[in-house]
C-alpha cells in the first residue's frame, strides 16, 4: 500500500520492542467479539485505477465551464486566476494545522490577518473573523450573536433572504431561546417587502436579517432598515451571498449594518457542488468579544519583531466549553487563503472592474430576454443576477434547456417550493459569460417557449 | 554565464563564530525572509488581473454605487506569487516532517486526492444546477456513504455537516428531535472531564445542561459513576472512543447498555475513529450517533485550520431525523431530497447546499486507494507506532496510563518536576529539533499533558529519530539546561510570540499609520 511506510520487518521489530507478539494484543481493550469484523468493501487500488473510477463519475456531470452557464442563487462561477490554486496547493499551507504553534505558523497567521483586513474593508466594518463554514452558518451565528448583544430574542428574516439561509437559521435556533420570524418574499415588489420588514421591527426585536442583493437579485438601500432597527435597539444583519457585488454596491457598513455575514466563495473558490466554501463574518469593534470563530491578532515575539497569533480565544469552546460563544472549532482556512490570494491580485481596482463586467453581462441578459414575448424581467436595480417571469413552469423550461446543453438558472421553486413561484427563474451572469452564451440562452429559450 | 566565472568551486571557510551577529541591510536573513503585509507594499491603486473592457454604460443600481474608497491593494502577479510563497516558508506542514499533534491526526495527504477533487466534473459543478446534470456527483456521495456505512456498521449517514463540531451539532439535534418525538423532554447531557471542548459547547447549543462524569484511575469512564448519573433527565452521553487519553473504552458495550436502559442515547465523538477503522465498528458497539472527521481519519488536508467535513452516522433509532438534503434512489436515477414535507421528521437544513463535496471526493479517493485491507493496515500501523513511542519513551518520560494505547500516547509533566521546564517550553524546544510539537495541555485530566500521535505515515527511521530527539531533550531538561527550553524556539522563523499582549489590546486588522 503506497501510503504506508512501515515494512513487515519494521512491524515485527516494533512489536518486539513493545513486548507483544501480535498486533491484536494492542487491541485487547476492544471486546473480542467485535474485533476484526468482516468488511465488505473492495481491496486497495492503484493510483491509476482510482483515477479511472472517479473520472468516470466526474464525466457524468455537466461542468459549468463546458456550457452557457447562468446558475447562481448563492454560488457563482467566476474566473479564478491560476496563481490562486498554485499557492493553496503548496504543502506548507495545504498540510498545516490550525496555527496553535505560532512560531512555525506565521504563514497561515499573516494570511489570516490579511484576510481579516480585506473582509473588514470590503464589508465596510471594523473587524472580521478568520472565516466560518459558509455564508448560511455564518448567518445563523449572527442571529445568535445579536441575542447575546441585545439580550432580546426575536429575529426577523427578510423574505428575500436566500431560502436555504433562512432554513439554516431556523435549524440552528430551534433549541435556543431565539424566536425567528420569516417574512413573505415578494419577488416582484422588493420595496413593499422591505417596507413590511421595517414595519415589523419593534422593541422585542433583537435583529433583522436582510440580504443584499436579495436572492431575486434586487439591490436595495438598507439605510431606512438600519435607522428603524437602531431606534428599537435591534441590530441590522446584512447577508451578502455575492461578494463580487461589494466592488460596485455601497457596502453594508455604509448602510448602517451592525453585523455583516457573507458567502466568500465568489472570490478565489470554485463551485465544487456547494462546498467547501467560506463564511465571512464582520462586525463593529464594540461587539468583538461576542463574535464567534477564530480571530488572528498582531503581537510581537521575544525579539520585539512583529508577528501574529490566534487571540481572544476565551470566547471559544476549547477554553469556555459550554459557555463559549459558539461550538465552532474548524474554520475554512484554505478557502480563506484562496480568497486572500485572489483578492490580493484583484485589489480594489480589479474588483471594481470585474464587478462592472458582471453588471454589464446581467444588463445584456436582461435586454436579450426582455425582447422575448411572454418573458418579464422583475428587476430594476440589480447587480449580476435577475429574476424573470416565464410563460410556463420554470423548472420544466430549465430541464429542456439543459437538454440543449444550456444551464439557464435556478427555478425559484427549487428554493421556495409551493410558494406560487413556479414561473420564476433566477438568472446570474458573471464575467465568465460570453456574448455567444447570452445569444444561445435567448435562442434556446425562444425555442422552448414556442 | 555568471556562475563562478573564475572556475573555482566554493569551499567552506572557517569563521570566528561572531560574524552572524550583524544586521543585514535588507532585513532578511538568508532564507529567513522578512515579509511585509500586502497593505504595506504601496499598491493601493493597481491590479494584478487583466479584465475585459466594457466601456461606459449606465448602471442600474438605484444610485447605490460604492463611491468611497474600499482600501484593498492589488499586487502584480509576480509579487503575489512571491509574497505567499515567502509566507508559506514560515509554516510547518506534514509535507515537511513529522507532525505528532495528538487528537488531530496529521497523516499524509495524498496528492491524487487533490487532483481528483479538481476534475471539472466535480470542481466546476453548481449545487443548484439541474439534478439530471449532476448524476455523477450524487453517485459519488452515494458511494462514499456506502463506504462509511460499511466501515461503521450503521444504517444511515448524514454527509452535510461542515466539520467535526458541526457533526456533533447534527448528532445531538437528532437526539433531541427523537426525544421530543416521543414526548420525552430531557435536559442533561453527560460528558467525561476529558471531552473535547466542542462536546459541552454543542450540548449547550442544543439547550442541554452539561454534567461531567469522572474517569477511573485507568483513564476510562467510571461506569459505576455513570450509572449513578443516568436517570430520566439524561438525554445522552457523549463519549469519545478511543478517548482523548488515547485509550479504548473497554467497557463501551456496558456504557451503551446502561445508556439505553435509561432511555438515553449514546453519542460517540468519532475524532479518533482513525485508530479502529477496519478493526471495530461503532454500530456493533451500540453507538447511536457518531461524527467522522474526514479531515482526520480520511486524510482530507487540514489546510491551516479547515475546511473540515463531519458526516454523522446514525443508528436505527435516530435515522429518521437526518438533516436535509440527502441522496435518494429513484427509478430515474439518483435525486436529492431538499425540502421536508409536513410528515418528515428531519431536523431541517444545516448548511446552504449539500456539504463539503470537495472533501467527499478526497475522502473517497483515499478510501478506494487503501481498500478494506489498506484501511485496516493503516489503523494497525497508527496504533503500532503510538505504542512503539510509548514503549520507547516511558522509561524517561511519565506515561499517564498503562498501555497499550491506541493511536496516540499520553504523557504528563511529572518527569519535568523540579527541572524548571514546563510542557510549553518542552514543546517549543521540539520546534528547534525540527518537529511540530505534540498536543499540549490537552486532555485536561492530566497535568501538563503531552499527547503524541505519530499516525501511520512515519517510517521506522523517522520514529527512531523522533524518539532519539525526545530522549535527548528529556536528558537536557533533567541536566538543568533550562535556557534551551525557556528561550525556545531559537531556530524558528520567529521567537516565542507574546499571546498575552495580543489579547490585552487586540489589533485584528492592518491600519495605516496616521
DSSP assignment of A306-344 = EEEEE--GGGSHHHHGGGSS-S-----HHHHHHHHHHHH
> Which of B101, B218, B293, B305 is the best mutation test for A, with the most CBs of A within 10 A?
B305
Tens digits of residue pLDDT in A165-206: 999 999 999 999 999 999 999 999 999 999 999 999 999 999
Give a yes or no: residue B55 inside a domain.
no
Contact between A103 and B404 using a beta-carbon 8 Å cutoff:
no
Tens digits of residue pLDDT in A424-445: 999 999 999 999 999 999 999 9
Q: Confidence band (pLDDT; 50, 70, 90) for A330? A: confident
Judge if B347 and B406 occupy the same domain.
no
| Short-list B274, B437, B362, B438, CA closest to A334 | B362
Contact between A329 and B110 using a beta-carbon 8 Å cutoff:
no
Give a yes or no: residue B17 inside a domain.
no
Give a yes or no: residue A5 inside a domain.
no
Judge if B424 and B472 occupy the same domain.
yes
Give a yes or no: residue A29 inside a domain.
no
Contact B213, B191 (CB under 8 A): yes
**With an 8 Å Cβ cutoff, is A81 touching chain B?**
yes
**Paired sense of beta strands B439-440 and B450-452, if any:** antiparallel
Judge if B325 and B448 occupy the same domain.
no
Give a yes or no: residue A51 inside a domain.
no
In Å, the largest CA–CA distance within chain A is 83
Contact A58, B119 (CB under 8 A): yes
Contact between B57 and A36 using a beta-carbon 8 Å cutoff:
no
The domain in which residue A354 lies consists of 64-79+347-449
**Mean pLDDT over each residue of chain A, to the nearest integer:** 97
Of B306, B335, B367, at which residue does a domain stop? B367
Give a yes or no: residue A302 inside a domain.
yes
Instruction: Tell me the nearest-neighbour CA distance from A426 into chain B, angstroms.
Output: 11
Q: Closest chain B residue to A250 measured between Cα atoms?
A: B66
Query: What does the pLDDT read at residue A72?
Result: 98
Contact between B384 and A294 using a beta-carbon 8 Å cutoff:
no
Contacts of A136 in chain B (CB under 8 A): 351-352
The predicted model gives A405-411 an average pLDDT of 98
State the burial class of residue B481 (Cβ atoms within 10 Å of its Cβ: 0-12, 13-18, 19+).
Answer: middle
Tens digits of residue pLDDT in A202-245: 999 999 999 999 999 999 999 999 999 999 999 999 999 999 99
Give a yes or no: residue B286 inside a domain.
yes
Judge if B343 and B475 occupy the same domain.
no
Judge if A252 and A334 occupy the same domain.
yes
Q: How many contacts, defined by CB atoms under 8 Å, are there between A and B?
A: 712
State the burial class of residue B421 (Cβ atoms within 10 Å of its Cβ: 0-12, 13-18, 19+).
Answer: buried
Distance CA A158, CA A214 (A): 9
Instruction: Tell me the nearest-neighbour CA distance from B482 into chain A, angstroms.
Output: 17
Judge if A86 and A181 occupy the same domain.
yes
What DSSP letter does each residue of B99-132 carry, written as one string? --BTTT------HHHHHHHTSHHHHT--TTS-GG
Judge if B399 and B343 occupy the same domain.
no
Distance CA A14, CA A288 (A): 51
Contact between B151 and A307 using a beta-carbon 8 Å cutoff:
no
Q: Confidence band (pLDDT; 50, 70, 90) for A327? A: confident
Contact between B95 and A58 using a beta-carbon 8 Å cutoff:
no
The predicted model gives A134-163 an average pLDDT of 97
Query: What does the pLDDT read at residue B514?
Result: 67
β-pair partners for B389: none
Which residues contact residue A226 at a Cβ distance below 8 angstroms, ignoring those fewer than 6 apart?
A: A236, A255, A256, A257
Instruction: Tell me the nearest-neighbour CA distance from A200 into chain B, angstroms.
Output: 24
Of B367, B391, B406, at which residue does a domain stop? B367
Query: What does the pLDDT read at residue B2?
Result: 54
The domain in which residue B441 lies consists of 375-501
| Closest in A297, A349, A357 to B54, CB measured | A357
Helix or strand or coil: residue B94? Answer: coil
Q: Helices A333-370 and A435-449: crossing angle, nearest 10°?
A: 60
Of B304, B338, B367, at which residue does a domain stop? B367
Contacts of A387 in chain B (CB under 8 A): none
- Which cell numbers hold the place of B218? 485507568
**With an 8 Å Cβ cutoff, is A284 touching chain B?**
no
DSSP state of A371: T
Give me the residues of A, 188-207, that contact B with CB < 8 A: none
**With an 8 Å Cβ cutoff, is A328 touching chain B?**
yes
C-alpha to C-alpha distances, B34 to A261, B24, B26, B407, nearest whole angstrom: 33, 11, 9, 38
Contacts of A1 in chain B (CB under 8 A): 369-370, 373-374, 377-378
Contacts of A106 in chain B (CB under 8 A): 87, 90-91, 493-494
Give a yes or no: residue A72 inside a domain.
yes
Instruction: Tell me the nearest-neighbour CA distance from A156 into chain B, angstroms.
Output: 18
CATH number at residue A128: 3.40.640.10
Judge if A296 and A443 occupy the same domain.
no
Instruction: Tell me the nearest-neighbour CA distance from A201 into chain B, angstroms.
Output: 24
Contact between A322 and B61 using a beta-carbon 8 Å cutoff:
no
- Which cell numbers hold the place of A330? 474548524
Judge if A412 and A304 occupy the same domain.
no
Contact between A121 and B71 using a beta-carbon 8 Å cutoff:
yes
Instruction: Tell me the nearest-neighbour CA distance from B478 into chain A, angstroms.
Output: 24
Judge if A267 and A384 occupy the same domain.
no
| Closest in B117, B458, B497 to A307, CB measured | B497
- Which cell numbers hold the place of A388? 424573470
Contact between A347 and B43 using a beta-carbon 8 Å cutoff:
yes
Low-confidence residues in chain B, pLDDT < 50: 1
Judge if B327 and B462 occupy the same domain.
no
CATH number at residue B466: 3.90.1150.10
Helix or strand or coil: residue B268? Answer: strand
Give a yes or no: residue B210 inside a domain.
yes
Judge if A374 and A445 occupy the same domain.
yes
Tens digits of residue pLDDT in A357-406: 999 999 999 999 999 999 999 999 999 999 999 999 999 999 999 999 99
Contacts of A276 in chain B (CB under 8 A): 162, 306-307, 309, 356, 358-359
Distance CA B134, CA B125 (A): 8
The order of strands in the sheet holding B398-399 is B398-399, B409-412, B450-452, B439-440
Of A302, A327, A342, at which residue does a domain stop? A342
Give a yes or no: residue B420 inside a domain.
yes
Contact B115, A85 (CB under 8 A): no
Judge if A362 and A321 occupy the same domain.
no
Contacts of A338 in chain B (CB under 8 A): none
Tens digits of residue pLDDT in A59-112: 999 999 999 999 999 999 999 999 999 999 999 999 999 999 999 999 999 999
Contact between A122 and B247 using a beta-carbon 8 Å cutoff:
no
> Which of A48, A53, A61, A352 is the best mutation test for B, with the most CBs of B within 10 A?
A61
CA B479 to centroid of chain Cα atoms? 36
| Short-list A166, A216, A244, CA closest to A380 | A216
CATH number at residue A368: 3.90.1150.10
Judge if A142 and A220 occupy the same domain.
yes
DSSP state of A184: P
Query: Which residue is associated with the grid cell 503500532?
Result: B384
Of A342, A369, A390, at which residue does a domain stop? A342
Q: Closest chain B residue to A343 measured between Cα atoms?
A: B74
Distance CA A91, CA B47 (A): 27
Judge if A221 and A255 occupy the same domain.
yes
Query: What does the pLDDT read at residue B430?
Result: 98
- Which cell numbers hold the place of A390? 416565464
**With an 8 Å Cβ cutoff, is A329 touching chain B?**
yes
| Short-list A199, A194, A152, A147, CA closest to A169 | A147
Judge if B276 and B242 occupy the same domain.
yes
Query: What does the pLDDT read at residue B23?
Result: 86
Give a yes or no: residue A27 inside a domain.
no
Contact between A1 and B373 using a beta-carbon 8 Å cutoff:
yes
What DSSP letter does each residue of B44-74 carry, written as one string? TT--SS-----------STT-B--S------
- State the sign of the Cα–Cα–Cα–Cα dihedral A160, A162, A164, A166: negative
Judge if B409 and B284 occupy the same domain.
no
Instruction: Tell me the nearest-neighbour CA distance from A374 into chain B, angstroms.
Output: 23
Query: What does the pLDDT read at residue A323?
Result: 80
Contact between B136 and A2 using a beta-carbon 8 Å cutoff:
no
Judge if A245 and A228 occupy the same domain.
yes
Distance CA A298, CA B444 (A): 28
Domain count, chain A: 2
Helix or strand or coil: residue A136? Answer: helix
Residues of A376-387 as b/e, b for ≥16 C-beta within 10 angstroms? Answer: ebbbebbbbbbb
B183: left (phi over 0), alpha (psi -120 to 50) or beta: left
- Which cell numbers hold the place of B362? 478526497
Domain count, chain B: 2
Judge if B269 and B139 occupy the same domain.
yes
Judge if B238 and B255 occupy the same domain.
yes
Judge if A113 and A202 occupy the same domain.
yes
Distance CA B360, CA B127 (A): 14
Contacts of A317 in chain B (CB under 8 A): 165, 197-198, 200-201
> Which of B497, B505, B511 is the best mutation test for A, with the most CBs of A within 10 A?
B497
Distance CA B10, CA A32 (A): 65
Give a yes or no: residue B361 inside a domain.
yes
Judge if B342 and B405 occupy the same domain.
no
Contacts of A295 in chain B (CB under 8 A): 506, 508
Of A314, A342, A370, at which residue does a domain stop? A342
Contacts of B462 in chain A (CB under 8 A): 5
> Which of B38, B69, B77, B91 is the best mutation test for A, with the most CBs of A within 10 A?
B91
Distance CA B238, CA B163 (A): 17
CATH number at residue B331: 3.40.640.10
Instruction: Tell me the nearest-neighbour CA distance from B458 into chain A, angstroms.
Output: 6
| Closest in B75, B306, B492 to A103, CB measured | B492
CA A424 to centroid of chain Cα atoms? 24
Instruction: Tell me the nearest-neighbour CA distance from A190 into chain B, angstroms.
Output: 13
- Which cell numbers hold the place of B324? 436535509
Judge if B361 and B379 occupy the same domain.
no
Amino acid at each position: 500500500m503506497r501510503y504506508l511506510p512501515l515494512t513487515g520487518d519494521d512491524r515485527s521489530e516494533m512489536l518486539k520492542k513493545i513486548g507483544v507478539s501480535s498486533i491484536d494484543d494492542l487491541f485487547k481493550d476492544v471486546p473480542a467479539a467485535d474485533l476484526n469484523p468482516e468488511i465488505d468493501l473492495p481491496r486497495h487500488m492503484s493510483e491509476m485505477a482510482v483515477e479511472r473510477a472517479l473520472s468516470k463519475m466526474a464525466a457524468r456531470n455537466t461542468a459549468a465551464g463546458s456550457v452557457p452557464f447562468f446558475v447562481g442563487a448563492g454560488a457563482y462561477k467566476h474566473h479564478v486566476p491560476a496563481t490562486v490554486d498554485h499557492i493553496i496547493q503548496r504543502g506548507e499551507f495545504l498540510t498545516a494545522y490550525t496555527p496553535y504553534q505560532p512560531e512555525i505558523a506565521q504563514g497561515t497567521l499573516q494570511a489570516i490577518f490579511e484576510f481579516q483586513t480585506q473582509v473588514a474593508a470590503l464589508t465596510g466594518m471594523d473587524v472580521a473573523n478568520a472565516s466560518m463554514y459558509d455564508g448560511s452558518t455564518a448567518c445563523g451565528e449572527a442571529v445568535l450573536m445579536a441575542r447575546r448583544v441585545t439580550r432580546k430574542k426575536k429575529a426577523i428574516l427578510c423574505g428575500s433572504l436566500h431560502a436555504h439561509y433562512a432554513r439554516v437559521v431556523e435549524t440552528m435556533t430551534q433549541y435556543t431561546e431565539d424566536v425567528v420570524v420569516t417574512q413573505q418574499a415578494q419577488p416582484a415588489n422588493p420595496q413593499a417587502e422591505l417596507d413590511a420588514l421595517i414595519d415589523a421591527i419593534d422593541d422585542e426585536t433583537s435583529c433583522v436579517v436582510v440580504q443584499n442583493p436579495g436572492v431575486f437579485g434586487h439591490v436595495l438601500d438598507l439605510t431606512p432598515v438600519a435607522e428603524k432597527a437602531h431606534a428599537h435597539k435591534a441590530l441590522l444583519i446584512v447577508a451578502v451571498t455575492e461578494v463580487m457585488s461589494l466592488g460596485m454596491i455601497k457596502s453594508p457598513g455604509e448602510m448602517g449594518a451592525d453585523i455583516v455575514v457573507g458567502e466568500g466563495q465568489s472570490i478565489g473558490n470554485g463551485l465544487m457542488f456547494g462546498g467547501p466554501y467560506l463564511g465571512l463574518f464582520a462586525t463593529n469593534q464594540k461587539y468583538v468579544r461576542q463574535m464567534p470563530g477564530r480571530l488572528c491578532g498582531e503581537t510581537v515575539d521575544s525579539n520585539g519583531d512583529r508577528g501574529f497569533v490566534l487571540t481572544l480565544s476565551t470566547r471559544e469552546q476549547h477554553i469556555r466549553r459550554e459557555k463559549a460563544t459558539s461550538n465552532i472549532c474548524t474554520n475554512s482556512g484554505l478557502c480563506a487563503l484562496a480568497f486572500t490570494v485572489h483578492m490580493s491580485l484583484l485589489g480594489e481596482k480589479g474588483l471594481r472592474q470585474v464587478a462592472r463586467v458582471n453588471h454589464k453581462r446581467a444588463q445584456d441578459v436582461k435586454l436579450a430576454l426582455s425582447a422575448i414575448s411572454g418573458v418579464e424581467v422583475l428587476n430594476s436595480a440589480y447587480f449580476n443576477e435577475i429574476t424573470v417571469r416565464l410563460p410556463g413552469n420554470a423548472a420544466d423550461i430549465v430541464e429542456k434547456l439543459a437538454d440543449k446543453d444550456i444551464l439557464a438558472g435556478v427555478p425559484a421553486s427549487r428554493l421556495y417550493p409551493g410558494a406560487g413561484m413556479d414561473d420564476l427563474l433566477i438568472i446570474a451572469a458573471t464575467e465568465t459569460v460570453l456574448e455567444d452564451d447570452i445569444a444561445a440562452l435567448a435562442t434556446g429559450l425562444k425555442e422552448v417557449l414556442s | 554565464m555568471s556562475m563562478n566565472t573564475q572556475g573555482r568551486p566554493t569551499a567552506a571557510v572557517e569563521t570566528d563564530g561572531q560574524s552572524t551577529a550583524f544586521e543585514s541591510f535588507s532585513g532578511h536573513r538568508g532564507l529567513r525572509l522578512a515579509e511585509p503585509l500586502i497593505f504595506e507594499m504601496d499598491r493601493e491603486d493597481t491590479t494584478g488581473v487583466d479584465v475585459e473592457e466594457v466601456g461606459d454604460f449606465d448602471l442600474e443600481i438605484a444610485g447605490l454605487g460604492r463611491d468611497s474608497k474600499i482600501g484593498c491593494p492589488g499586487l502584480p502577479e509576480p509579487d503575489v506569487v512571491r509574497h505567499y510563497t515567502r509566507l508559506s516558508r514560515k509554516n510547518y506542514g506534514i509535507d515537511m516532517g513529522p507532525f505528532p499533534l495528538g487528537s488531530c491526526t496529521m497523516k499524509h495527504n495524498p496528492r491524487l486526492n487533490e487532483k481528483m477533487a479538481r476534475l471539472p466534473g466535480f470542481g466546476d459543478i453548481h449545487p443548484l444546477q439541474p439534478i439530471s446534470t449532476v448524476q455523477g456527483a450524487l453517485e459519488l456521495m452515494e458511494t462514499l456513504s456506502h463506504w462509511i456505512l460499511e466501515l461503521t456498521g450503521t444504517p444511515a449517514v448524514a454527509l452535510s455537516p461542515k466539520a467535526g463540531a458541526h457533526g456533533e451539532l447534527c448528532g445531538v439535534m437528532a437526539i433531541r428531535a427523537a426525544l421530543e418525538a416521543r414526548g420525552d423532554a430531557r435536559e442533561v447531557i453527560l460528558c467525561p472531564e476529558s471531552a473535547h471542548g466542542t462536546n459541552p459547547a454543542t450540548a449547550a447549543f442544543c439547550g442541554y445542561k452539561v454534567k461531567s462524569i469522572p474517569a477511573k484511575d485507568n483513564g476510562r469512564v467510571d461506569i459505576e459513576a455513570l450509572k449513578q448519573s443516568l436517570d430520566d433527565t439524561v438525554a445522552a452521553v457523549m463519549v469519545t472512543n478511543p478517548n482523548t487519553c488515547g485509550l479504548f473504552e473497554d467497557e463501551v458495550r456496558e456504557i451503551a447498555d446502561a445508556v439505553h436502559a435509561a432511555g438515553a442515547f449514546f453519542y460517540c465523538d468519532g475524532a479518533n475513529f482513525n485508530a479502529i477503522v477496519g478493526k471495530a465498528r461503532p454500530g456493533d458497539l451500540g453507538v447511536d450517533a457518531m461524527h467522522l472527521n474526514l479531515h482526520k481519519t480520511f486524510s482530507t488536508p487540514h489546510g491551516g485550520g479547515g475546511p473540515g467535513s463531519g458526516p454523522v452516522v446514525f443508528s436505527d433509532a435516530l435515522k429518521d431525523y437526518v438533516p436535509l438534503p440527502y441522496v435518494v434512489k429513484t427509478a430515474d436515477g439518483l435525486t436529492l431530497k431538499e425540502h421536508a414535507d409536513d410528515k418528515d421528521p428531519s431536523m431541517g437544513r444545516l448548511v446552504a447546499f449539500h456539504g463539503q463535496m470537495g472533501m467527499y471526493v478526497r475522502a473517497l479517493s483515499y478510501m478506494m486507494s487503501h481498500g478494506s485491507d489498506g484501511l485496516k493496515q493503516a489503523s494497525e500501523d497508527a496504533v503500532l507506532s503510538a505504542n512503539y513511542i510509548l514503549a520507547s519513551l516511558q522509561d524517561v518520560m511519565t506515561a499517564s496510563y498503562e498501555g497499550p494505547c491506541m493511536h496516540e500516547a499520553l504523557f504528563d509533566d511529572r518527569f519535568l518536576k523540579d527541572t524548571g521546564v514546563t510542557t510549553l517550553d518542552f514543546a517549543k524546544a521540539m520546534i528547534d529539533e525540527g518537529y511540530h510539537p505534540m498536543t499540549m495541555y490537552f486532555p485536561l485530566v492530566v497535568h501538563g499533558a503531552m499527547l503524541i500521535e505519530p499516525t501511520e505515515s512515519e517510517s521506522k527511521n523517522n520514529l527512531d529519530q523522533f524518539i532519539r530527539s525526545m530522549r535527548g531533550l528529556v536528558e537536557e531538561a533533567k541536566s538543568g539546561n533550562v535556557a534551551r527550553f525557556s528561550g525556545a524556539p531559537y531556530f524558528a522563523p520567529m521567537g516565542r510570540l507574546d499571546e498575552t499582549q495580543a489579547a490585552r489590546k487586540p489589533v485584528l486588522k492592518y491600519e495605516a499609520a496616521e
